[in-house]
Every structure is written in C-alpha cells, then in structure tokens.
Amino acid sequence: MVVKTSIRLVAVAIILFNCSQNEHTKTITVKNTLDMERTFETVELSKDFLKIDDLSSISIQDSDTKKLLVTQTIDYDGDGVLDVILFQPQVEANSEKVYEIVKIQESERPKADTLCYSRFVPERTDDYTWENNRVAFRTYGPTAQKMIEDNIPGGTLSSGIDLWLKKVDYSIIDKWYAGNVKKSGYYHIDHGEGYDPYHVGKSRGTGGIGVWKGDTLLTSKNFTAYRTIAIGPLRTVFELDYEPWSEYGIKETKRISLDLGSNFSKFEISLVAENPVPNYTIGITLHDGKGDIILNDKDGYYGHWEAIDNSFVGEGIILDPQQVQQAFDFRTSTPDQSQLLIITEPNQTKLTYYAGFAWTKGGDVTTKENWIQMLDKESKKINNPLQVRSLNGTNS
C-alpha cells in the first residue's frame, strides 16, 4: 500500500546576507563567475536568510527595470510555515545583477503556469511521474511490482528511471495518461507532442542506482511510498521510499527535484546500510549495447548517445568527480544489463547527482557534439553556482 503525505520543499544557493527584521525592501546582488550567460537557474532564499517571517507577502524584482519576477515559495517540513522563496535571475557572463526583495499584494504577483509538475499515477498501476518545460521522467510503484510477482500482465518490476520524450514546452503528463486510459499504449505513439519509446526493464534506465558486486549489479525493487513536496512554476520536488534491499540491508529514500528550463533532475539519495557496502553505483542503460559512450572523469560527467526510432537521444549523469571510484562500459548478453556504470564511494549517507537527457526532436540538441557540450556546460554550472550576497537594505 502506497503511503502519501504532502509537504513542500526546495534546494540551494550560496548566500550571504544581513539586514534588520523591520526592513521591507532588501537588495541583493547575484554574481556569475562563469564565461557564459546564466538563465533558467533557480536561486533559493530562506526565511532565516531574509529575516522575514511571512514569505507569502514578498516578491523579487529587477532593480533596473522594477519588473517583478516569477517566484515560488515552499514549506520544507509541512509545518504550515513557508521556508524558502525561489526565483530565476538572468546574469550575463562574468558579471553581477542587482535584485530587490519587495512587499507586494497578492494581486500584483506575476502569474505563471505550473510547468514543474509531478504526481502519483494510480490510473496506470502506480507510476510516479515528473516533468518540466523540456523533459519528463517516471518510475514505478508497488502495485506494478506485485503484478509481476503474481504473474499478472501489465506490471513492471524496476527501480530504474524512465524517460518521456517531449516536443512541447507545456505539461503533458495528465493528457498522455488520460489518453492511455482510453487506449492502452497511447503514450508510446507520437501524436505530435512526443512519446515514450524508451525501454527500462530491469536496467537502471537513466539514473537508477545499485551496488556493483563482482559482475552483477544488485538493486532495489519498486518504490513503496511517496511524498509530493512541491509543484510550481519553478520547481517540483518529491520523495520515494524503498524497502531494504540486497544482502547489505540498504534503506533508501530518493529526493528528486526538477527545475524549470533544466534537462536534468537532481537526485539526493539518503542511504543507510545494515552491513558495510562496497560502493554505490549509478547506471545508464545501453539498450542492446548500441550507442556511443562518453566518459569524463575530470569534470564528473558521463553520457550515452543512441539512436531511438528515427531520432537520437543523449542520456547523462553529472556528479562530483571526487565521489567517483571508476566508470566503465559494461556489456553482457543478459537482457537489460548492458549499462554505463559509475561506481562511487561507499562511505556516504547521501549520494547526490544529476540525471537527464536531450532528444533531437525536442530542439535542445542535434548532434552528439551538442550533447557533450550540454553535459560540459551543465557540469560547470553545478560546480560554480550563482553567488548571492547583500547590498545595503533600504526601507520601503
């Protein structure tokens, strides 16, 4: 039985700020240290950082144009108090941009569609599916697992991560599932918005984990419980729990987030093991051993470029290179077990990485070289986050 709770949440920015509680207008500067323009990157400001008790009463505006930005507030722990506010600045290469924190009326707040969306899908057994304006993903729950174990057709036994290929920048999850209810297999056919041709099976898909032992990857089964933490215009966040798995008794909770404009989901996986674990391994399926492998140990990005139907898809993993023991191309005749494997250090209670993809018909890439450039650019942004610092706050 899947257990559901609803709370809200967010993630990260480098922030240094100090101003008094009674100030209504606060000024910050966002610094970009890279030789590239930064857009579609989410900055998080906490309630404690801003020294503002009620984040629902504020917004963020461009200091030059006075234009209000789209924001999203999130309650981390479900206590009814908003903990953080998110926004996406636009900062030129090697430069800074000034923004103001201002009090507003709710009627003044810019409206935006909920493009960062996720939900539990009981109408298709029990998937959990998430998307933004560029990409979509899904993984599988306990009903789908039990169907396989009871020899009932239509089940799925996998903790791998599936990819849904989108051509459009609006939400498609509800529409595609509704179509599938009317006609099974609807989302496996491209009706003009994209489709799901990606096979996961018992593989890791793009971004599933396991433990590499000998020449075998030990993995969990399907998730057993979920918690939807946030949906909104800038970020969706949720958590998935798994029953203890493998001979090591690993207890696993995945916290997954996806931001507007990003091709990569962020995975923050909490791990507790009863017995010493030799490693934690992240995988990308190689689909019958076809496609080209990308290994960059120096910068911590790993990818695959493959033909699917009459197009190409690039899949990738990005993480701290200091975590990686080795990465290699593993081929075998066992179905769904030819994979790119990234073996990480075992002595950690949280494994953090980014997993994502780009499709040539989605418009983000056209060649393998484009995909490598995207992986390289994303790794640079992850390793050099936007820096936020304070200027003098002023009374409104």
Confidence of residue 348 (pLDDT cuts 50, 70, 90): confident
Residue whose pair of structure tokens reads 């207008």 in the numeric block: 25
For residue 368, the tally of other CB atoms under 10 A from its CB is 17
Supply the CATH number for residue 336's domain: 2.70.98
Question: 385 pLDDT exceeds 50?
Answer: yes
Residues 192, 105 share a domain: no
Do 299 and 321 touch, CB atoms closer than 8 A? yes
Note down the domain range covering 35. 4-110+384-390
Question: 5 pLDDT exceeds 60?
Answer: no
Question: 278 pLDDT exceeds 80?
Answer: yes
344 exposed, middle or buried (CB, 10 Å; 0-12, 13-18, 19+)? buried
Confidence of residue 370 (pLDDT cuts 50, 70, 90): very high
- Domain-embedded: residue 376: no
pLDDT reported for residue 392: 52
Question: 139 pLDDT exceeds 60?
Answer: yes
The 10s digit of each residue's pLDDT in 198-252 is 999 999 999 999 999 999 999 999 999 999 999 999 999 999 999 999 999 999 9
pLDDT reported for residue 355: 98
- Domain-embedded: residue 378: no
DSSP sequence for 132-186: -SS-EEEEE-HHHHHHHHTT-TT------BEEEEESSSS--HHHHHHHHHHSTTG
The 10s digit of each residue's pLDDT in 286-319 is 998 889 999 999 999 999 999 999 999 999 999 9
Q: How far is CA 89 from CA 28, 29, 211, 219, in A?
A: 11, 10, 39, 39
| Residue % of the chain over a pLDDT of 70 | 92
Residues 152, 129 share a domain: yes
More confident residue, 48 or 342: 342
Residues 282, 157 share a domain: yes
Residues 165, 17 share a domain: no
For residue 183, the tally of other CB atoms under 10 A from its CB is 9
pLDDT reported for residue 221: 98
Q: Supply the mean pLDDT for the chain.
A: 91
Residues 203, 83 share a domain: no
Question: 101 pLDDT exceeds 90?
Answer: yes
Neighbour-count burial for 135-151, b at 16+ CB within 10 Å, e otherwise: bbbbbbbbbbbbbbeee
pLDDT reported for residue 288: 82
d(CA 325, CA 322): 8
Please provide the distance, in angstroms rounded to a whole number, between the alpha carbons at the two ends of the chain.
52
Neighbour-count burial for 269-301, b at 16+ CB within 10 Å, e otherwise: bebebeeebebbbbbbbbbeeebeebebeeebb
Question: 396 pLDDT exceeds 70?
Answer: no
d(CA 342, CA 297): 10
Supply the CATH number for residue 80's domain: 2.60.40.1180
